[in-house]
Amino acid sequence: MGITHILNAAAVEKSLKISFEIPSKNSLKGKVNTGVVYYQGRSLNYYDVPAENKCSFNIGEYFFPAAQFIHQALSNPENKVLVHCKKGISRSATLFLAYLMIHHDMMVEDAIDHVIEVIRIRPNIGFLKQLTILNSNLKSRRILQLKNDYS
């Protein structure tokens, strides 16, 4: 695959942090254990977003740092970025949509249309609301920039 960068948008369960005993199959069911320790010793650049897939979770605070991580990685055409979460349809999708909006000047609708041509996504309603707010903020910023450019 040649992946050079990983953005992990899956919250690591506190109970799964370093343990010296083998967890039972049932204790791992439905949990993701791919935190920074999982990737240690591999030649990868890693960024962790401890996001929960809850409508009330403020994923918006990670929009700009995550988008910058992806953008910086992709500034080298040799790099490949894996953006993941538990199911790959809500948290990781939301952060990738934010990247498209921030660094490719896409409106939220265009970013969603662009991504769903390739993969099925389903950000939760709380994340969609936060993307809509980001959309409004970016639109206002672009309008101000245009006004300043023509003043």
For position 9, which CATH number holds? 3.90.190.10
Q: Over 80: is that where the pLDDT of 11 sits?
A: no
State the pTM of this model. 0.82
The answer to whether 55 is a known catalytic residue is no
**What total number of domains does the chain contain?**
1
pLDDT value at position 19? Answer: 44
- Per-residue tokens: 143: 């309008």
Residues spanned by the domain of 30:
5-149
What is residue 111's three-state secondary structure? helix
Query: Are 84 and 62 within 8 A, CB to CB?
Result: no
Average the pLDDT over 74-100 and give the result. 97
pLDDT tens digits, residue range 12-36? Answer: 654 444 444 555 555 555 555 666 6
pLDDT value at position 16? Answer: 42
pLDDT value at position 20? Answer: 46
Q: How many residues does the chain have?
A: 151
d(CA 108, CA 19): 41
pLDDT tens digits, residue range 38-53? Answer: 667 778 899 999 999 9
Q: Which of 12, 85, 93, 138 is catalytic?
A: 85
